[in-house]
Amino acid sequence: MINFKTFFAKKDPLYIKEYKPKKYVKPEKMIDIVSAWQGLEMIIEDIQLQFGLGNNTCIEFGVEFGYSAVVLSNYFNNVIGVDTFEGDIHTTNKNQHYEETQQRLASFNGIKLFKSDYKDWIRRDSEHYDLAHVDIVHTYEDTYQCGLWASQHSDCTLFHDTESYPDVKKAVLDIAKKTGQQIYNYPLHFGLGILVNKRSLRKR
């Protein structure tokens, strides 16, 4: 029997496809620190290869203690990390930790950290990136605003916590509707939304 709900959903260009890695690879460079991002490091190389991403520049909004920034530095020559380093309403650590995180990541080449609110950053940045990663305060408004800019300034945008925060998944879906980009979701490790900017990839 045909599952009509699935049939018509797959005909919808905005249907969220489940991301299915073809391989899992542990990065060579890692840091030993507890992170909700643990597990996702195994699919970054796969994402890069499946979508044909470049390896030059990556921007990350929401560094916290640096776990994902180090992972991304395995695959991109330059990783720009933007964070207030003061926590938010959804984090347990509200202490300022810019210097601490900077020292922790000092030995990893190619990572540059900037203490900035994403709103201030996107007002003055017109660069285009191979990859963007959004893992900021998990409200709809902030995820949408930051994510829309990221999706328009990168070939691929990752959004953490699509499964643990419904507002994040809704924002990613609305950005896909706005931009026409292909949307995927990886359901493990609190969820990773993936938007692929095929238009910009064709221009490379």
Tens of pLDDT, residue by residue over 123-149, are 999 999 999 999 999 999 999 999 999
Is residue 195 domain-resident? yes
Residue-wise pLDDT tens digits, 51-90: 999 999 999 999 989 999 999 999 999 999 999 988 555 4
Give pLDDT, residue 203.
Answer: 77
Domain that holds residue 102: 27-202
Q: How confident is the model at residue 202 (pLDDT cuts 50, 70, 90)?
A: confident
CATH of the domain at 56: 3.40.50.150
Q: How confident is the model at residue 9 (pLDDT cuts 50, 70, 90)?
A: very low
Give the span between the Cα atoms of 196 and 53, in whole angstroms.
Answer: 10
Three-state DSSP at 88 gives coil
pTM tops 0.85, yes or no: yes
Q: What is the mean pLDDT of residues 163-177?
A: 96
46 or 98, which is more confident: 46
Q: What is the DSSP secondary structure assignment for residue 8, as one 8-state letter?
A: H
Do residues 184 and 156 make contact, with C-beta atoms less than 8 angstroms apart?
Answer: no
Is residue 12 domain-resident? no
* Overall domain count for the chain: 1
Nearest Cα neighbor of 161 from 88, 105, 100, 78 is 88
Is residue 1 domain-resident? no
Give pLDDT, residue 86.
Answer: 84
Is residue 148 domain-resident? yes
Is residue 176 domain-resident? yes
The rounded percent of the chain whose pLDDT value lies above 70 is 88
- Rg of the chain on CA atoms, in Å: 16
Report which residue type is found at 36: A
Is residue 127 domain-resident? yes
∠ CA 56-127-77 to the nearest 5 degrees?
15
Give the span between the Cα atoms of 81 and 97, in whole angstroms.
Answer: 14
Give pLDDT, residue 11.
Answer: 43
Is residue 41 domain-resident? yes
Do residues 63 and 70 make contact, with C-beta atoms less than 8 angstroms apart?
Answer: no
Give pLDDT, residue 12.
Answer: 46
Is residue 147 domain-resident? yes
